Amino acid sequence: MKFRPVRGGLKEAMEEVFESNSLPEILFRAFDGNEMAYGPLDTIELKYQGYDSRIDWESYLLIINGKVAGYIDGKEFGGQRADNY
């Protein structure tokens, strides 16, 4: 799956897109290597944002411990549906 961080604009965010099926890697990179910035991992939420035709993604907002981490283009991490988190 692709991960897009929250940045000032879409162009800036797309420059930092990366692909991974590893939730720990996504979290580490989303928090710029400072996974403690969000405290212990208590909750992971996904909120469907809709289809974004600018980038051809079904976009889901990734929320960790109530804080927005960024967007992903699907609902699975390493083959497991994010609904299960």
Q: Which domain holds residue 74?
A: 2-80
Which residues have a Cβ under 8 Å from the Cβ of 52 and sit 6 or more positions away? 58, 59
Asked whether residue 85 is domain-assigned, the answer is: no
Amino acid, res. 8: G
How many C-beta atoms surround the C-beta of residue 36 within 10 A? 8
For 10-32, write each residue's pLDDT tens digit: 999 999 899 988 877 887 777 76
What's the structural domain count of the chain? 1
User: pTM score > 0.85 for this model?
Assistant: no
CB 58 within 8 A of CB 2: no
Asked whether residue 11 is domain-assigned, the answer is: yes
Asked whether residue 10 is domain-assigned, the answer is: yes
* 43 phi and psi angles, rounded to 5 deg: -135, 145
Instruction: Decide which of 83 and 64 is more confident.
Output: 64
